[in-house]
Amino acid sequence: MNEKILQVENLKKHFTVEKKQVLQAVNDVSFYVNKGETFGLVGESGCGKSTIGRTIMGLYEKTAGNVMYDGRNVHELTDKEKFGFYRNMQMIFQDPYASLNPRSTVKEVISEPMEVHGLYKSKRKQLDRVYELLEEVGLNRDHANRYPHEFSGGQRQRIGIARALALDPEFIIADEPISALDVSVQAQVVNLLKDLQMEKDLTFLFIAHDLSMVKQISDRIGVMYLGNLVELTASEALYEKPLHPYTKALLSAIPIPDPDIEESRERIILEGELPSPINPPSGCVFRTRCPMAMDICSIEKPQWQEVEQAHYVACHLYDHTIGNRDPVNT
């Protein structure tokens, strides 16, 4: 039986920006993450992925909805409760250059969370743990006294991972942990994360804008567009039978290594600009760029519905097709 460790229910996060305008960064998003799995969250820049991560971590107050972790509502914790609670949940950040304090040595960067939580009474034990963590992420103890700028991007991200592991968390939000890295290094870091997951029984929320990388690491994937989840299902199902026109467009942009297939396949180019989350389109937020848009799409927001087992989509093409699985020439 899968145990749902994280449940995000109708989560909304709106920001008030200049001229008192409301920016709808996250709108009514619902998903859950099973213990031990990797849940991938994808979508283009600005669609609200980091905002979801930060709201789950309690770094942002929610506007509406709930975030339940291990049966507890994270936005109802007192500050004292939060302190203990968030030992279990850590974040790896997108930019390994910006997220490490340049004036701290690697040893200081990794041991800081241990000190904040008073994990070790003895400095010696704490240092031993730093050495152990460095080795776990493929670095070594000689690196402990050096500064972040002395390392390559991939190595810095390993330092960021070691820091995230310092408190022995059970859940890690990895917010585009590989996007700033060279392609050759990306796979190494992904493999490291996979190995650590096996060894430590970790659960991952893996955020990325590149669907091809997310596929390799995720058990299930949620696709976002302009603050909304548009489709969610198991990785294979998403690749083999995408339902939402936006997912189809994203998948069609991934090159296929076989030249015959690559040549014969249709690439879906999305027309038009990404609308602003300050003034999103009425009805379905994707309709202004959707090649399949119908009249109803500007009038009614599509429901988030399970159209096949464990395959969720928000799209009017599927309104009448529950039980009749093949909508309009897919």
Ligand X SMILES: Nc1ncnc2c1ncn2[C@@H]1O[C@H](COP(=O)(O)OP(=O)(O)OP(=O)(O)O)[C@@H](O)[C@H]1O
- The SS3 call for residue 130 is helix
**C-alpha span between 108 and 252 (Å, rounded):** 45
Tokens of 65: 């909805």
Instruction: Give strand pairing partners of 24.
Output: 14
Q: Which is nearer to Mg ion, 111 or 228 (CB)?
A: 228
Number of Cβ within 10 Å of residue 84's Cβ equals 10
Per-position x/- string for 241-280, each x denoting binding to ligand X as judged by CB under 6 A, each - no binding: ------------------------------------x---
- Examine residue 50 and tell whether it contacts ligand X (CB under 6 A): yes
- Token look-up 């979508």 returns 43
**C-alpha span between 254 and 141 (Å, rounded):** 40
Of 18-37, binders to ligand X (CB under 6 A) are 23, 25
Least distance in angstroms from the C-beta of 199 to ligand X: 28
> Are 257 and 55 a contacting pair, CB within 8 Å?
no
- Single residue of 2, 45, 145, 330 touching ligand X by CB under 6 A: 45
Nearest 5°: phi and psi at 118? 55, 45
Least distance in angstroms from the C-beta of 48 to Mg ion: 8
Where is 299: in which H helix or E strand? helix 296-299
Q: Which is nearer to Mg ion, 51 or 203 (CB)?
A: 51
- Examine residue 51 and tell whether it contacts ligand X (CB under 6 A): yes
Q: Which does 158 bind (CB under 5 to 8 A by kind): ligand X, Mg ion, none?
A: none
- Examine residue 46 and tell whether it contacts ligand X (CB under 6 A): yes
Stretch that binds ligand X, among 40-48, 81-89, 157-165, 321-329 (CB under 6 A): 40-48
Of 138-177, binders to ligand X (CB under 6 A) are none
Cα 116–120–122 angle (5° rounding)? 125
Please give the residue ranges that form the binding site for ligand X (CB under 6 A).
15, 17, 23, 25, 43, 45-51, 209, 277
